[in-house]
Amino acid sequence: MNILHTSDWHLGHSLFGRRRHEEYRRFLDWLLETVRSERADVLVMAGDVFDSALPGNPAQAAYYDFLRRLTSEGGCRHVVIVAGNHDSPAFLDAPAALLSAMNIHVTGRAREPEEETLLLRGPDGSPELIVSAVPFLRDRDLYRACDGDDPEERDRRMVEGMKEHYARAARQVRRLREEHGDVPALATGHLFAAGGLTAPDDGVRDLRIGSLGQVPADVFPDDFDYVALGHLHLPQKVNGRERIRYSGSPLPMGFNETARRKEVCLLSLEGRRFAYRRVEVPVFQRLEKVEGDLPSLERRLEELSGCGESVWAEVIHTGTEPVPDLRERVEKYATGGLEILRIRNSRSLEGTPDAGPEEADLEDLGVEDVFERRLREAFPDKSAEDPELEELRAAFREAATAAGRTGEEN
Ligand SMILES: [Mn+2]
């Protein structure tokens, strides 16, 4: 039996305002072909299907079209999808009953761990895989908040709640094994495992403000033969453990990720042993980070615009000479297949007193990001999951939708 583990698609993501529909179309075509050629029986998507809680129409269409083709043409018997921190649990859950008729099992909102644990059956009806489909767990799923929680206390409770959730799921796995024999078991998770690697600019949004929000790998009991994780965008195993892995995002989420290879995880099962193999994701859109003083920028941009390939570039001027007309001089080269998505002057950044690594350009942020930042500034003492903040977010989304400013209206 073969299982394909992927996560963090972030459908609907745009790079500095540039829509990525074509890249996503090519990625999903490739994924479908990979499911077919690798004879994957089960596809596991470990969260962050969409980039935002309110995905635009093209992103939604891409998702449903993929699921339809996957089950009708891909030969995939089961699909397991859980919500990540970017997804709206309610949005993913809404069509769950309809999708379950196609063997597509969706968990948006966290449920009782016993209910999240599924027994998947093979073509002859015999049990072949247990899946504890655990989505991103929000603070309110993990513990009851009380006033005056300090961040350390919150962290401690969060980890305790997480442990309890997976321990209960594991108990359910043992119960199912008593009944059905030694069936292999897999758990999903969308979380930040302690010791995990991230890259600057890779789009991993902090899960919790004021705390590390990191989860030790020992929250996953040994009853699970494999743990399919999402949230971190670099593919990696956790603490050197082969059985606990992040597949990473299939597309680079920023220019700092361009040198890294992207993958999906292919697992083949023999008994309860999962053998892992990486399948590299092709580059669907070439991204280039061009850095240097003006003459070297111009040389490189000239090369790129004549290379006959579609290239999206970020340009960073690092020269000591100020170039007041930098944008004009750089944009001259945006011909042929070269598109310049972002121009930065590292000199002027240095000169700004509070331009730390946390400082982002307004143009890099979506409307939801800007609102989120203002919200956190306005309520520094409230937890990110506070019901009052959730209510304000919902009101904002409604207003933004009415104004046509969120998702992909184009
Ligand atoms: Mn993500």
Per-residue pLDDT of 368-392, as tens digits, reads 778 888 888 888 777 777 778 888 8
Span from the CA of 253 to the centroid of ligand 1 (angstroms): 9
Ligand 1 center to 48 CA (angstroms): 5
Residue 214, domain member (yes or no): yes
CA of 205 to the centre of ligand 1 (A): 7
Last residue of a domain, one of 255, 281, 307: 281
Domain of residue 396, residue span: 365-402
Q: Residue 321 C-alpha to ligand 1 middle, in angstroms?
A: 38
Calculate how far, in angstroms, residue 251's C-alpha sits from the geometric centre of ligand 1. Answer: 11
CA of 291 to the centre of ligand 1 (A): 27
Number of domains, the chain = 3
- Burial of 212 per CB tally in 10 Å (0-12, 13-18, 19+): middle
**DSSP strand pairing (214-215 vs 192-193):** parallel
> Per-residue pLDDT for 209 more than 50?
no
For residue 135, report the distance from its CA to the centre of ligand 1, in Å.
Answer: 13
At 357, is the pLDDT very low, low, confident or very high (cuts 50, 70, 90)?
very low
Among 12-21, 90-99, 268-277, 353-362, where is mean pLDDT lowest?
Answer: 353-362
Q: Which two tokens stand for residue 280?
A: 């590299």
Provide the token pair at 313.
């570039």
Q: How far is the CA of 223 from the centre of ligand 1 (A)?
A: 26
In terms of pLDDT, which residue wins out, 8 or 398?
A: 8
Which of 263, 262, 260, 253 minimizes the C-alpha distance to 314? 253
Structure tokens at 381: 């003492």
CB atoms within 10 A of CB 357: 7
> Are both 111 and 215 inside the same structural domain?
yes
Of 262, 281, 300, which residue is a domain's last? 281
Q: Average pLDDT, stretch 327-352? A: 81
Residue 407 maps to a domain:
no
Residues 369 and 349 in one domain: no
Residue 408 lies in a domain: no
Which range, of 40-54, 121-135, 198-212, 251-265, averages the lowest pLDDT?
Answer: 198-212
Q: What is the pLDDT of residues 113-160, one digit of tens each?
A: 999 999 999 989 999 999 999 999 987 787 766 656 677 787 888 889
- Write down the pTM of the prediction: 0.83
What's the pLDDT score for residue 201? 64
CA of 403 to the centre of ligand 1 (A): 27
Residues 188 and 271 in one domain: yes
Residue 350 has a pLDDT of 47
DSSP letter for 52, please: S
What residues have a C-beta under 5 A from ligand 1, the ion?
Answer: 8, 48
How far is 188 from 170, CA to CA, in rounded Å? 12
What is the chain's Cα-based Rg?
A: 22
Tokens of residue 187, six digits: 């758990």
CB neighbours of 137 closer than 8 A, spacing ≥ 6? 110, 161, 162, 165, 191
